[in-house]
Amino acid sequence: MMDIQEITKILKNVLHPKTGKDIVSSDIVNQLRLEESNLFFNLHVFGLNSSEKSELHFKCVQEINAIYPALNVHVHLVNDKISIPVPDNNLLPQIKHIIAVGSGKGGVGKSTVSVNLALALKAAGFKTGILDADLYGPSIPTMLGLSGKRPEVDTVNGQPKIKPLLAFGMPLISMGFIIEPEQAVVMRGPRLSGIIKQFFLDTLWPELDFLIVDLPPGTGDVQLSLVQTVQLTGAIIVTTPQEVAVVDAIKALNMFQLPSVNVPIIGVVENMSWFTPAENPDRKYFLFGQGGGQKLASYGNTNVLGQVPLIQGIREGGDNGLPAYLNQQADLIQPAFNEIAMATLLKINIHSNI
């Protein structure tokens, strides 16, 4: 007997082109209704290109008509932003989601991922900010063209508050705004913890949909201070394909999954997945091997949010203050970070505990 429950079961055979999850579990199908020999429903296609939208539409109709060939299927494509559940965050009620970006070791491109993911979320219409929590090696001011700048301090209710600087329309705070570029940071745990709390609680953060927190590599005091200070929506783990990076990334993933930490893993980003020469953008050279991101994701029972190629524009963007998402090679890098942003939004939407 044909009913909405049976139609929903059929639609579970259709997979989302970005995440590989079925579209019912992804919560992008709603308002199903049957009227005689007609079926109507909405399909939310935010973040998909035109060919992906067409393919998804075709597969929905194909799956349903394979079982009910006489049924007229009317699919309304909705291109709005995804509704994201908001975790309880009493200390920073103006910030809906705080996402930590971590790694097991340095040099895997964690800050690059943080910056360009933030820009991709902003491009998708979300209010996004960045907190550079890499106190020992704050590189984000350089990457966003704010090296040497100093934030202003306002007095609010008799208490000094830091005004974040703006980079491409995103509020940003960093240790790099406080120390000189060549100054070494030598601090013990309690002092590090105090700075992290100050960056969160003594900064005049505006209303944000997302605050991206770029963590230092490893599993030390800064990470522990972070989870003790604010409620995290989840964590993204960055690795490169090579085994030595994956082994250390597993440690970072395990830290977030400790019962005393208990931060959901949103997924894995594999950076430097292949090298693509600017003069030959269709070629891929797997300089660091293949499969590291998937190995890490499988270990942590999560998924790969996306793969980022190694291109010259990423290095240039990090050095000259114009991130790759916005520079002259943006057409090569934007698809990767748009996919990562979309997969992040879907993962948050799928799992209500994230």
Residue at which a domain ends, from 49, 78, 107: 78
Question: CATH number of the domain that 313 lies in?
Answer: 3.40.50.300
E-state strands within the chain: 29-35, 38-44, 72-78, 95-102, 128-132, 153-156, 159-162, 165-167, 170-174, 208-214, 234-239, 265-275, 304-310
DSSP states along 144-180: TT-TT----EEEETTEEEEPPEEETTEEEEEGGGTS-
**Under 8 Å CB-to-CB from 303, ≥6 apart: which residues?**
19, 20, 267, 268, 297, 343, 347
**Under 8 Å CB-to-CB from 26, ≥6 apart: which residues?**
16, 19, 346, 349, 350
Q: Sorting pLDDT into bands at 50, 70 and 90, what band is 344?
A: very high
One domain for residues 196 and 339: yes
One domain for residues 136 and 217: yes
Q: Sorting pLDDT into bands at 50, 70 and 90, what band is 252?
A: confident
One domain for residues 158 and 64: no
One domain for residues 62 and 103: no
One domain for residues 166 and 34: no
Q: Which residue has the tokens 């894995």?
A: 268
When pLDDT is averaged across residues 208-220 and rounded to a whole number, the result is: 85
Q: Is 322 helix (H, G, I), strand (E, B) or coil?
A: coil
Q: Which residue has the tokens 């998937």?
A: 294
Residue at which a domain ends, from 44, 78, 112: 78
DSSP state of 83: P
When pLDDT is averaged across residues 119-144 and rounded to a whole number, the result is: 89
Q: Sorting pLDDT into bands at 50, 70 and 90, what band is 117?
A: very high
Answer yes or no: are the C-beta atoms of 226 and 133 closer than 8 Å: yes
One domain for residues 320 and 187: yes
Kindly tell me if the per-residue pLDDT of 141 is higher than 80.
yes
Q: Is residue 84 part of a domain?
A: no
- Pick the more confident residue, 85 or 266: 266
Total tally of structural domains belonging to the chain: 2
When pLDDT is averaged across residues 92-105 and rounded to a whole number, the result is: 90
In the prediction, which pLDDT does 99 show?
95
Q: Sorting pLDDT into bands at 50, 70 and 90, what band is 189?
A: low
One domain for residues 137 and 214: yes
Answer yes or no: are the C-beta atoms of 164 and 171 closer than 8 Å: yes
Q: Is residue 162 part of a domain?
A: yes
Q: Is 263 exposed, middle or buried (0-12, 13-18, 19+ CB in 10 A)?
A: buried
In the prediction, which pLDDT does 81 show?
59
Residue 295 half-sphere exposure toward CB, CA atoms < 13 A: 16
- Pick the more confident residue, 42 or 318: 42
Kindly tell me if the per-residue pLDDT of 351 is higher than 50.
no
One domain for residues 29 and 144: no
Taking only the tens place, the pLDDT of each residue in 270-326 is: 999 999 887 787 888 999 999 999 999 998 888 899 999 998 888 888 888 899 899
Q: What is the pTM of this model?
A: 0.77
One domain for residues 169 and 135: yes
Quote the CA–CA distance of 325 and 48 in Å, as a whole number. 18
Q: Is residue 153 part of a domain?
A: yes
Residue at which a domain ends, from 46, 78, 110: 78
Kindly tell me if the per-residue pLDDT of 184 is higher than 80.
no
Please give, one letter per residue, the 3-state secondary structure of 113-133: HHHHHHHHHHHCCCCEEEEEC
The proportion of the chain whose per-residue pLDDT surpasses 70, expressed as a percent, equals 91
Kindly tell me if the per-residue pLDDT of 181 is higher than 60.
no
**Under 8 Å CB-to-CB from 286, ≥6 apart: which residues?**
241, 273, 274, 275
One domain for residues 56 and 119: no
In the prediction, which pLDDT does 3 show?
86
One domain for residues 139 and 22: no
Paired sense of beta strands 159-162 and 165-167, if any: unpaired
Amino acid residing at 314: I
Q: Is residue 198 part of a domain?
A: yes
Question: CATH number of the domain that 42 lies in?
Answer: 3.30.300.130
Q: Which residues pair with 30 in a beta bridge?
A: 42
Kindly tell me if the per-residue pLDDT of 353 is higher than 60.
no
Structure tokens at 276: 């693509």
When pLDDT is averaged across residues 31-44 and rounded to a whole number, the result is: 90
| Mean pLDDT, the chain, integer | 85
Quote the CA–CA distance of 310 and 131 in Å, as a whole number. 25
Range of the domain at 8: 4-78
Kindly tell me if the per-residue pLDDT of 225 is higher than 80.
no
Kindly tell me if the per-residue pLDDT of 16 is higher than 90.
no
Q: Is residue 89 part of a domain?
A: no
**Under 8 Å CB-to-CB from 299, ≥6 apart: which residues?**
250, 253
Kindly tell me if the per-residue pLDDT of 354 is higher than 60.
no
Structure tokens at 272: 């430097």
